[in-house]
Chains A and B, each alone.
Chain A
Amino acid sequence: MNAKEIIARRAALEPSDNNLINLGIGLPTMIANFVPADVEIVLQSENGILGVGPKPAPGEGDWHIYDAGGGLVTVKPGAMFFDSAYSFSLIRGGHVDITFLGALQVDEQGNLASWMVPGRRVTGMGGAMDLVVGAKRVVITMEHTQKGTPKLLAACTYPLTAVGVVDRIITELAVIDVTPKGFVVRELAEGVTFKDVCDVTDAPLIPDDQILKMRLAGVDNREDDRC
């Protein structure tokens, strides 16, 4: 299983039944594929859909129905369409239960940098700033390092998307929560030690009292889940 799939399968265990979920572009879109069958989630696309369904078969689909990445989608029964002001009222107003998105850097204060690398072409923040400020819970899904360079830091160095908003980070190595004390490691992936994670993290890590083995959706999780 590659890193992205590990991350997506772990993230798929985060939503509760009937949660309103927003998935960022890229890796987060994989999460919907792995959400357990007994958990029903409502997916929002910030360009104006509640109830996003799967992509249509190639050559099918209606160009009036597309997601925030510009790709055609289908909608589920009971879906609704609306304009951007309403969409961001849902987002800013605290009605989104979880927003999953990628990051360039996250620091131990929960600060998030996800939209701009100094010296590189700037594309704009889109809806990311609104989502991370407004959602009840912000879960970052990302590979633990950028080709070996740590992305979990004591303090972000890139321009911020928002201050103090991140609740949880899920990487292919670990599940880490942002707490008032700093980063707390809650779960470790199979075969990964606490030291392994510390070695690729540029911030102090606090081991949880009882670190669990990382659970993955759709994979038999061992009964003894102590690490």
Chain B
Amino acid sequence: MDKVVSAAQAVSHIRSGDVLLIGGFLQWGTPETLLKALLERDVHDLTVVSNDTGTGETATICLMQQGMVSRIKSTYIGANSHSGQMLIEDPASVELIPQGTLAERIRAGGAGLGGALVEVGLGTVAAEGKPTLEIDGKTYLIERPLRGNVALIYATVCDKAGNCFMKGSTKNFNVIMPLSADIVLVEAESIVDVGELDSELIHVPGVLVDYVCQREDV
């Protein structure tokens, strides 16, 4: 099955009010081509779930500057000035989450788990309003699963069926998020025929991926 479309076609599946899972870590391995295509859409009230909401040089900040983003769930927003501004103006719109907890909540959302039990955050603001559970004498926070309507994913190589390879440290959240979204959009530096990508190198199976587009030079 050929899943290759244009970036504009891929992002046409995003609706106002959607929760978007956006891969990448700081300025690297973010789905820039998909995000730029999304800038052309008339959608709003989006929730961005992302490790860090990118930097001043990546495109997530442009979505925010255009007023398309209402909420953020992230671990670190120090490199995106607009996220910092959202936190000041409307603290309830920004949820800061310990990085491993964010990864595990997304993983739980895609792995059929009712959440994750973590010690991380106990005794800090990250525990506020969250129930705890005691198991074998240890106290854990109950962290809820986190899913998205659409995942926007970067891949280094993707075949036409959506099988993805992420080189080096671009795996980050790009490998986890495809399990946890209803629709998965991938942009790839290189798109190849099925069979050209060594099965031993596939990090995300094509069965999880709905649409694939070519990454433009960024």
Contact = CB atoms under 8 A, between A and B. Distances in A.
B169 A125 contact: no
B75 interface: yes
Interface string A37-70: 0000000011111000000000000111111111
| B interface SS class | loop
B124 A130 contact: no
A194 interface: no
Contacts of A92: 100, 118-120
A83 B175 contact: yes
B185 to A, nearest CB: 18
B25 interface: yes
Given A47-B169, A66-B28, A83-B176, A127 B123 contact: no
| A interface SS class | loop
Contacts of A121: 84, 88
A105 B156 CA distance: 41
Among A123, A124, A126, A133, the most chain B Cβ lie within 10 Å of the Cβ of: A124
Given A64-B156, A64-B168, A159-B124, A129 B173 contact: no
Nearest to B171: A83
A47 B25 contact: yes
Contacts of A66: 25-26, 28, 168-169
Interface of B: 25-29, 51-52, 55, 74-79, 84, 87-88, 96, 98-104, 106-107, 118-126, 156, 167-176, 203
Interface of A: 45-49, 62-70, 81-85, 87-89, 91-92, 111, 116, 121-130, 133-134, 159-163
10 contacts: A66-B25, A83-B175, A84-B171, A124-B75, A126-B52, A127-B98, A129-B101, A160-B123, A162-B120, A162-B123
